[in-house]
Amino acid sequence: MKHAAPLIYLASQSPRRRALLRQLGIPHRVLVPDVNEAPLPRETPEDHVRRLARIKAEVGAMRVLKRRWPPLPVLAADTVVVLGRTLLGKPVDAAEAAAMLARLSGRRHRVLTAVALAFQGKLQLALSDTQVVFRRLAASEIEAYVASGEPLDKAGGYGIQGRAAAFVRRIEGSYSGVMGLPLFETAELLRKIGIRIP
Ligand SMILES: Cc1cn([C@H]2C[C@H](O)[C@@H](COP(=O)(O)OP(=O)(O)OP(=O)(O)O)O2)c(=O)[nH]c1=O
């Protein structure tokens, strides 16, 4: 059906999350939450993504309530790249993107994505944890990739769904989780509140 009534809200500005939710065929409406994404001191990467996914879903649910929109469930997510003990979020500029890619070159990192679903005053959370191995990248490759503009709005400065696919030797875990919305975990959360993949 082309204009099916929305079943949920997706609280996200990320075009990747919208595309991934479309892949599941769940009709949805988008809300854009405005949330401060700075890590707290001594917060683990797992706690960090869980906290942000939760806040995005809760801020979305508050908005729905305030505006008296139909009270549908609100889905949100947060993604970070973890290299050793360092969290890599979205680079602020091209120089930071290049520095991130130089650190990822020839190494293994993790991509953590937490998904949160707020409905009827309750919140459910799931965590996706994926290992990604990059081949070694030449400085000229990093430069060309950064010049493509692709790294700028993405955690760790790369998009596995884009040209950076050519850097990825191996992944173990969830491809959709690396892209920003782990679809297995998302479907499980939705199923628990009675929404099934059509
Ligand atoms: C590692 C990786 C991240 N990303 C993206 C997904 C997310 O959009 C972004 C991580 O930033 P987030 O802060 O998780 O999300 P966002 O600010 O883009 O969107 P919102 O908070 O409104 O939902 O990185 C990819 O698209 N591909 C990848 O391979």
pLDDT (tens digit per residue) in 3-14: 789 999 999 999
- In order of 5, 69, 87, 93, 138, the CA distances from 143 in angstroms are 45, 46, 22, 13, 9
Instruction: Look up the ipTM and state it.
Output: 0.96
Kindly state the helix (H) or strand (E) to which residue 88 belongs, with its residue range: strand 86-88
Q: Looking at residues 70-98, what average pLDDT do you find?
A: 96
Place of tokens 């919208």: 18
Q: Looking at residues 53-58, what average pLDDT do you find?
A: 97
Q: What is the CA(43)–ligand 1 centre distance, in A?
A: 19
Phi, psi of 80 (to 5 degrees): -135, 155
Protein residue with its CA nearest to atom 23 in ligand 1: 12
Q: Looking at residues 38-46, what average pLDDT do you find?
A: 89
Query: What HEC string does 94-115 produce?
Result: HHHHHHHHHHHCCCEEEEEEEE
Q: Looking at residues 72-79, what average pLDDT do you find?
A: 98
Q: Is the pLDDT of residue 151 over 90?
A: yes
For 84, counting Cβ atoms within 10 Å of its Cβ (0-12 exposed, 13-18 middle, 19+ buried), the class is exposed
Q: What is the CA(15)–ligand 1 centre distance, in A?
A: 9
pLDDT of res. 54: 97
Q: Looking at residues 180-191, what average pLDDT do you find?
A: 98
Helix (H, G, I), strand (E, B) or coil at 116: strand
pLDDT of res. 33: 79
Cα dihedral value 75, 33, 181, 43, nearest 10 = -100
Q: Is the pLDDT of residue 37 over 80?
A: no
Protein residue with its CA nearest to atom 16 in ligand 1: 14
- Structural domains in the chain, CATH included, are 8-192 (3.90.950.10)
Predicted structure pTM score: 0.96
pLDDT of res. 137: 98
pLDDT of res. 3: 72
